[in-house]
Structure 1
Amino acid sequence: MKRLCYMPELQLDLISEFWKGQMLVNLSHGVYDILRQELVPVRGKFKFDYVINIRYRPRFKLDDAPNFKHYIETSVGYDQLECLLRVLGYCISSLTKGRKAFVFYGIGRTGKSTILNVLEAAIGSNLVSHEPFHTMSGERAKAHYEGKRCNISRETSTRPNRNEESFKSLVSCEFTTGSEKYEKQRDFVATLSFVFAGNSDVEFTFMDDAILDRLVYLIFNKTIPEDEIDLDLEEKLLAEKDVIFSLALDSLKRLIMDKYDFKMSPIAQEHIKHRRYLIHSAESFLDEKCKLSENGRVSKVVLYAAYTVFCKANALKPESRNRFYDKVRNYDASITDGRVPDSTGNSVQGFCGISFISGECQATDDESDE
């Protein structure tokens, strides 16, 4: 042990070895080359601190795994097969340029936990952490990521993640700090993948486009009837894991060639689109109810009151007053703060360069506190 501590020639830089071997996956019987899509004899040239518990076989087809094929038919559908394979392959690889977190979202009894149990079995439980989504950005949680290859959370809470910037940093595999209670902070690069599953969607205190750009959804919307539930499905899928992950490994070259497009299905893309609409309620209101006008003048109080009416009518959650005002300012460079006349002729705080579209119902100053 002393010789290891004081003789650099005996030491191994696992971080450097990780980056050198990103295009390789160390399997139980050989090393898989992602770009060549075959096993290669390089064990002596590269050092790995993990072993993925599968045996790769070329030219496998989905029909070679009948239980997995049935799982696809009854849980996610064929339109999500390619996305699922790319996600599974990415999670067992050392690739980091995807910069995505994966959300297995949908109703209960759809097989979310089942496929994640198979994924964890392939990676090895000692290389998997299980931090829940709402605490994933905490110092203590981050301390558990060091040396792990994947974080799998099987039940998403309705509680929001309150540290959006840390989430973005972790998913992007940037430097972070973590520490257990009463321990010194450690700096490291989190190179693991993040998978969150649940009946509830992931929520953030302040959702934005940058967060949505980092999410890949797999939608589980096919409920399995009680009398058709296969209690032995997990064991059957584990028996087919060599086929499943051979297909997943071969999907990685396509993923790289597609510039890390995980090929979300239309239903998943629509879900992202809807979530994007929800966080742009202010912009939607300005698009639909207002217009840019050189001589336009509108009271801030009246504008915000009209915005809240719009949100209520469209089942949207309104932004806070100050956040809404910031979005108005950023909507167009021609919009400026200024004094404007209210409905009684008094000079009040407002915006210049914008007005309501003619004929739109306008809230009055008296509605400002509703």
Structure 2
Amino acid sequence: MMGYELIPAELKQLKQWVCWQAVPDESRPGKMKKMPINAMTGGGAQSNNPDTWCDFDTAVGCSQYYSGIGFMFANGYFGVDIDNVQDEIEDYKTGGNGNIVAEFIHSLQSYSEYSQSGNGIHIICKGSLPKTGRRKKNVEMYSEGRFFIMTGNICSEYADINHGTEKIKYLHEKYIGSGSAPTTGIIRTIPLNLSEAEVLQLAEKSKQGKVFSDLYAGKWDTYFTSQSEADMSFCNMLAFWCRCDEAFMDQIFRSSGLMRDKWDRKQNGSTYGKITLHKAVKQCNAIYEPHQNYTVSIGMKKPEPKKIYTFDDTGNAQRMYDLFGASIRYSYTDKTWMYYDGRRWKVDDTGETKRMVDEMLDFMKSPEQMILYSEDEERLKEYRKHIKTSRSSKAKTAALKEVEHFVPVLHSELDTHISLFNTVNGIVNLRTGELCSHDPNQFITKIGLAEFTEKIDCPIWNQFLNDIFHHDKELIRFIQKAIGYSLTGSTVEQCAFFCYGTGRNGKSTFLDTISHMMGDYAVNIQPETLMIKKQSGGANSDIARLKGARFVTSVEPNDGMRLDEGLLKQLTGGDRVTARKLYGNEFEFSPEFKLWMGTNHKPIIRGTDIGIWRRIMLIPFTATIPDETIDKNLKYKLRQELPAILNWAVEGCLMWYREGLKMPTSVQQATNRYKSEMDVISYFLDACCDDCGEIQASQLYRAYKEWAKENGEYDGMSNTRFGREISNQFQKIRKKDGQYYMGVSLKKKHIPYNISIV
């Protein structure tokens, strides 16, 4: 039963299970196919015969004799199968959200698992699918007549079977489609007491009468690139004039010059003609009323005045703006396009804006646009020529270039609401804990990977925290508030969290789980970014990635690396930072993130001032998880609890707003020990000096350099800085032969350091 324990209990309770066996596919020599097996008889199972299905336990028990188990779709469940997406899966596993795998998983928010080949995913939901279209390219959707091979190899944090009827509509339209977007037009038939001749006479006298007459006569090539487009346009007109009476519409169409054999061709259980008529009726939102004058607007949902655009790049840009302006923005700073995906603004690294240009060009060919220019034949020819010219790559690029100044966006306009946290099902107000709808006007570019629900029970997470923190309730409460604080964009605490401990103590799992929950809000940076560098350049491109981030992790700096204390103060102190993305311009931003460093080696800190040490919070990870108790699936189990962990974090945020962080005893003690370990001058004074007498300043500095070099502590501390640190502890006076420190002297026994003393 390897892996099957993670299959949702809801599915296990259904009697819709089979086994399966790989057998040669006779229709494809050399290929194998997956045959469903009746676990009770060993014969073939049938997708339309529930008598050949069995319960979960029976299927699992018999699976040892076959290739595995499968789930038959029926009774209000549907499945999505996405195949041959190896690269997208790898991107998804490393936190990428701009791929088809992440899009389906986070949109449907239901149980998901990797396919048997490992090159695809399966998602199972409750509900129903749109009526048309079940497969296109590598995406398939089924609610009956098919089965899924089940692996139990989960690939998301969604552990339950959730409803997906509404959520699947957009994905179905985008990846499979039915030829047109869903409409809510008039679908009823309203009798019309007019003859065919009277309807033709009325239509030909309307403002679009010439187009109607030409189409009725079969003269379509002036207006459209294909007769199918003309058929659809003419039927749209007929739906209006015939008051959605499909029989009457069919009668007039058959008498027109557009009639051809294709009209009665079998198609999808119907005919081409019936499908076209029904589609026209569904799209119709206005019908002819006697004794009123009408202008026919084909295929448009709203009787708005029609806008005429110039036949050049500027006209195309204006058209692009009118169609998609609310959903796109251009950053002159980063030289990149952004688009709103329904939940957040994304950098367009997949060509979405270019696809919008293609959609605009398709719209330009639509009947409702063609008719705008139909009264002037020369003007219509000019328009058709412009469409053809606009389809070139150069023209598309020019149109996009022109749109840029219509929709500019600045870094300062993005992610400005520090008390809001975006999730897959809405925006959480962190001050109140309330969920509100996604809103493009908030200009949020980040999104967490967990949905926000009322579920707050996360037993595995709570047990994990107890295990790694030795049931220290004070420390665990602090951790909850610290993670809650990290949900926000506030940096009022001006601190960084160092998670320190040797191996097998849970800190990596802890940071990985929170990072996954945070989604786009989490960023990992190389430890070298935060350490002293031999050479420093201009604006840092690694720092530029931190704009808008809230949870920044860095792991395992090399032993002996020294922290860039000035940079840490800048990043945690609320000061504006200058950064530059690769090939972009420099920009400034105020950091919103909290730094969480997980390490087995404490980075070297040479500063002793309160300005650096008040920022450090060293969290001790002192537990050691025995090998025999390590749960290799713990990471995946915790991901199933992410919605509950998010609620735990939001509760922590509300606690933080009320109480502040309040460093617990264990963190305070660990941080103080860390500070003592880093105070090299105190080490030197304790080891080599007495707190009496006096010594010349230059002699004490030479003695310090020798001691530091011998003990591996010498780091180039200047005489000036050394003098400043010593002067904070001892009185300094001037004598004839130089500066002296009072109340300190070298111990006589430390001969190597007792330099030039007579």
Q: TM class, shorter-chain normalised?
A: 0.7 to 0.9
Aligned-partner SS, 1:51 = coil
Alpha-carbon displacement from aligned partner over 1:167-222 (angstroms, at most 9, x marks no partner)? 21122242223346776544333333322112111224656432222122221111
Alpha-carbon distance between aligned partners in 2 of 1:123 and 1:103, rounded to the nearest angstrom:
19
Deviation at 1:42, TM superposition (A): 8.0
- 1:274 equivalenced with 2:711 (yes/no): no
Deviation at 1:86, TM superposition (A): 2.2
Counterpart position of 1:133: 527
Deviation at 1:236, TM superposition (A): 0.9
Counterpart position of 1:169: 570
- 1:351 equivalenced with 2:351 (yes/no): no
Alpha carbons of structure 1 residues 40 and 127: separation in structure 2 relative to 1, 3 Å: closer
Aligned-partner SS, 2:494 = coil
Counterpart position of 2:394: none
How many residue pairs are counted as aligned between the two chains? 344
- 1:117 equivalenced with 2:527 (yes/no): no
Alpha carbons of structure 1 residues 367 and 220: separation in structure 2 relative to 1, 3 Å: same
Counterpart position of 2:727: 329
> Normalising by structure 2, what TM-score?
0.40
Deviation at 1:163, TM superposition (A): 3.0
Alpha carbons of structure 1 residues 84 and 366: separation in structure 2 relative to 1, 3 Å: closer
8 Å CA contact retained: 2:413, 2:443 = no
Alignment equivalent of 1:230, drawn from 631, 644, 656: 631
Alpha carbons of structure 1 residues 276 and 154: separation in structure 2 relative to 1, 3 Å: closer
Alignment equivalent of 2:460, drawn from 60, 64, 67: 67
Deviation at 1:23, TM superposition (A): 1.8
Alpha-carbon distance between aligned partners in 1 of 2:683 and 2:512, rounded to the nearest angstrom:
41
**Which residue identity is paired with 2:722?**
F
Alpha-carbon displacement from aligned partner over 1:85-139 (angstroms, at most 9, x marks no partner)? 1232233332222222221111101111112221222222x55432222323672
- 1:367 equivalenced with 2:740 (yes/no): no
**Which residue identity is paired with 2:557?**
T
Deviation at 1:300, TM superposition (A): 2.7
**Which residue identity is paired with 1:131?**
I
Counterpart position of 1:345: none
Unaligned runs of 5+ in 1: 340-347
- 1:151 equivalenced with 2:552 (yes/no): yes
Deviation at 1:147, TM superposition (A): 4.4
Query: Which structure 2 residues correspond to residues 40-119 of structure 1 after superposition, within 5 A?
Result: 40=436, 43=439, 46-58=442-454, 60=456, 64-79=457-472, 80-119=475-514
Deviation at 1:55, TM superposition (A): 2.9
Q: Name whichever of 159-168 and 68-77 sits farther off.
A: 159-168
Aligned-partner SS, 1:277 = helix
Alpha-carbon displacement from aligned partner over 1:257-284 (angstroms, at most 9, x marks no partner)? 334x2x4432321121122224445468
8 Å CA contact retained: 1:4, 1:11 = no
Alpha-carbon distance between aligned partners in 1 of 2:682 and 2:738, rounded to the nearest angstrom:
21
Alignment equivalent of 1:15, drawn from 412, 417, 420: 412
- 1:30 equivalenced with 2:426 (yes/no): yes
Give the number of the structure whose alpha-carbon radius of gyration is greater.
Answer: 2
Aligned-partner SS, 1:18 = coil
What value does the CA root-mean-square deviation take over the aligned residues?
3.8
Relative CO higher for 1 or 2, CA cutoff 8 Å, sep ≥ 6?
1
Alpha-carbon displacement from aligned partner over 1:299-321 (angstroms, at most 9, x marks no partner)? 23564588789999xx9958847
Alpha carbons of structure 1 residues 4 and 169: separation in structure 2 relative to 1, 3 Å: farther
Alpha-carbon distance between aligned partners in 2 of 1:51 and 1:253, rounded to the nearest angstrom:
20
Aligned-partner SS, 2:743 = strand
**Which residue identity is paired with 2:696?**
S
8 Å CA contact retained: 2:553, 2:595 = yes
Query: Which structure 2 residues correspond to residues 151-300 of structure 1 after superposition, within 5 A?
Result: 151-161=552-562, 163-179=564-580, 185-204=586-605, 206=607, 208-259=609-660, 261=661, 263-280=662-679, 282=681, 289-290=690-691, 297-300=694-697
Alpha carbons of structure 1 residues 116 and 364: separation in structure 2 relative to 1, 3 Å: closer
> Normalising by structure 1, what TM-score?
0.77
Counterpart position of 2:435: 39
Alpha-carbon distance between aligned partners in 1 of 2:428 and 2:583, rounded to the nearest angstrom:
41
8 Å CA contact retained: 1:155, 1:198 = yes
Counterpart position of 1:5: 404
Alpha-carbon distance between aligned partners in 2 of 1:87 and 1:4, rounded to the nearest angstrom:
43
Alpha carbons of structure 1 residues 46 and 369: separation in structure 2 relative to 1, 3 Å: farther
